[in-house]
């Protein structure tokens, strides 16, 4: 009887130890599963945060690209406006210059042949043009020393005298009231009004001839 009781106690102890081992194994398995689940959760959260960062960066990049494109468009529009402004400002200036050049050109008819004379811009030439605006001026001109034709204007102009060596084709104001056409050189203090254009030295000599001439000045 005593042996049976001892055997029973031993069996109960074995079963108790086995139960403890089973509970420990179950606890370890549950702990491992929890750790695994926690790691998966952290990994998922990290992936989500990385995706959010990527999305935010892409959105910021798109905004920056849009701003750059907007800036480029603004630059192009500004350049077009500047070009348009320059074009508008240049055209009237060219017209004014052309008009000014034409205003300084007069006709001079010598013995029936009309030549163009381009005047320089000084007070003497402007006064002459102003006088011609009231009508043509005709003068009788004599040959002097075989290098010029000279004649009285019949009125005085402002003088801008300086020492000057003439050339063929020069139109000179002498002493403020005499007009001279040079077909050769001479040096003196007088005022240059302008010169004949589109005519060679030989042609001018032929038109002026060797004697006296009659010349008529008129606006174009």
The CATH number of residue 183's host domain is 2.40.100.20
- Number of other CB atoms surrounding residue 105 within 10 Å: 15
* Between 100 and 30, the higher pLDDT residue: 30
Q: Which of 6-20, 108-122, 133-147 shows the lowest mean pLDDT across its residues?
A: 6-20
Q: Quick one: average pLDDT of 93-107?
A: 59
129-169: pLDDT as tens digits: 999 999 999 999 999 999 999 999 999 999 999 999 999 99
Q: Quick one: average pLDDT of 61-85?
A: 57
Contact 202, 121 (CB under 8 A): no
Q: Are residues 120 and 94 in the same domain?
A: no
DSSP 91: H
In which domain, by residue range, is 183 found? 104-219
Which residue among 102, 136, 160 closes a domain?
102
**Dihedral, 109, 110, 116, 122 alpha carbons, nearest 10:** -90
Identify the band that residue 185 occupies on the pLDDT scale cut at 50, 70 and 90.
very high
Helix (H) or strand (E) holding 126: helix 123-132
The pLDDT value recorded for residue 200 is 96
The set of residues, in sequence order, having a beta carbon less than 8 Å from that of 78 and lying 6+ positions away, is none
Which residue among 102, 118, 144 closes a domain?
102
112: nearest Cα among 213, 11, 198:
213
| Residue that the structure tokens 């004379």 belong to | 117
């Amino acid at each position: 009887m005593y042996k049976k009781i001892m055997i029973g106690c031993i069996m109960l102890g074995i079963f108790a130890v086995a139960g403890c081992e089973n509970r420990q194994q179950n606890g370890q398995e549950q702990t491992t599963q929890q750790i695994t689940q926690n790691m998966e959760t952290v990994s998922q959260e990290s992936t989500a945060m990385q995706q959010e960062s990527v999305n935010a960066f892409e959105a910021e990049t798109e905004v920056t690209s849009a701003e750059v494109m907007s800036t480029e468009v603004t630059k192009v529009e500004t350049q077009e406006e500047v070009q348009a402004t320059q074009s508008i400002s240049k055209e009237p200036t060219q017209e004014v210059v052309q008009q000014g050049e034409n205003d300084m050109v007069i006709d001079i008819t010598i013995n029936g042949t009309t030549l163009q004379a381009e005047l320089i811009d000084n007070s003497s030439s402007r006064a002459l043009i102003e006088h011609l605006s009231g009508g043509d001026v005709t003068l009788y001109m004599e040959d002097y020393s075989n290098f010029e034709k000279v004649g009285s204007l019949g009125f005085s102009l402002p003088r801008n005298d300086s020492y000057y060596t003439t050339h063929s084709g020069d139109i000179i104001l002498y002493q403020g009231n005499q007009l001279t056409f040079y077909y050769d050189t001479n040096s003196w203090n007088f005022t240059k009004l302008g010169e004949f254009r589109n005519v060679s030295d030989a042609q001018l000599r032929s038109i002026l001839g060797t004697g006296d001439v009659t010349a008529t000045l008129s606006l174009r």
